[in-house]
Structure formats: structure tokens, C-alpha cells
Structure 1
Amino acid sequence: MVEQIRKLQGLNRPGAGWWRQRRVWRARERLVDMMTAGGLELLNEAELRHWKSHAMVELFLKFMDSPMRQDDTAETLARIEALNAVTYEKYQQAKKALAEEKAAAG
């Protein structure tokens, strides 16, 4: 499903001709079919993978401008292990707690 989402995003660019619009339409149709057949679990897994990939990129971008020290390496490895251990339920709980925190502050 994640691959279909990426394919759809790659096709869905401005300046699309008729053929590309047709390919977008078919890709969107395949994605909807996969989501319907896969159920909620597949969609949850896709959302979790998407979040994990963004979190991993943000982690590595943090150290892009400067060389990593020994303690930075240990911190990065610990954060990678923590990211890999996250389940969908933990992700939803953290997301809900953050939303409640924002609502209380705002």
C-alpha cells in the first residue's frame, strides 16, 4: 500500500497530460481497492510506516550539518531502537496525548 501511495504521489504532479491523468486515475482506483480489501489493519500499518520514515529522516537531518560525536552516536542508536519498537497502539496513544496537551494549552 505504501508503494501505491508513493506511486500516486509521483504521478500526481502539475502539468499532467491526458495519459498521465489516466494513469493517476488507475493508480487511485488500485489504491482504493487495496484499502478496501486490506481493511483497517493495513491502513494503520501504512500510517505507522509513514510516521516512522519521517521520524527517521528528521533524526538523521539533525546530524547532517556537523560531525557526530561518540555520545551523538549512542543517542542516535537508542532513538532508532525506540522508533523500531513503536507499535500502532503506542503511536495512537502518544498522538492523542499530544492533541489533549495542545487543547489544554490553547
Structure 2
Amino acid sequence: MNNIQNENGNKRYRKKYKYMKMRIKSLIIENAALCDEVAKIQESILIVKDERKFLLHKILEYEKDVEIFQTYCRNESVVTTNGPKVKIKKRQSLDD
């Protein structure tokens, strides 16, 4: 009777062992897939960060150019003609 119980117990544990082994393999595969996904997302984040830095740099350059233009325009008045050309006229002082 003990032999029959030992064999049934061994079969049950073998079955559990095979199930656990199969489950561990599937978890390893799932983990590898998730690691690949994380690597892709991290790469995308780096690309977006680089693009953001580039755009920020361009905006700062543009703002600097605008500030220079505004400073320049404070000293002179801008008169537009019918076309896209811009004529710049010096301001006349009140004494003239």
C-alpha cells in the first residue's frame, strides 16, 4: 500500500514539476519580450529628448533674433510698401 501511495505522490509531484517548468519557461519568454519592448520605448524616449533639445535650441535662436530685431526697430521705424520689401526709415527728431 505504501508503494502505491509513493508512486501516486511521485506522479503528482512530477506533474507539478513539469507544470512549473513549463510555466517558468513561458515567464522567461514573456520577460524577454517585455525587455525588448522597454528597450524600444527607451530608444523612442531618447529620440524625442533629442528632438526637444533641438527645437528648444531653435526657439531660443528665434527669440534672440526677434529681440535683436525689436531692439533695432525701436531705434528706427519700419514702413512697408505694396510688396514684401521693407523700407527702413530713420526717425526724425522733434527738433527737425
Query: Does the pair score TM above 0.5?
Result: no
Name the larger-Rg structure.
Answer: 2
Whose helix proportion is higher, 1 or 2?
1
- TM-score, structure 2 as length reference: 0.30
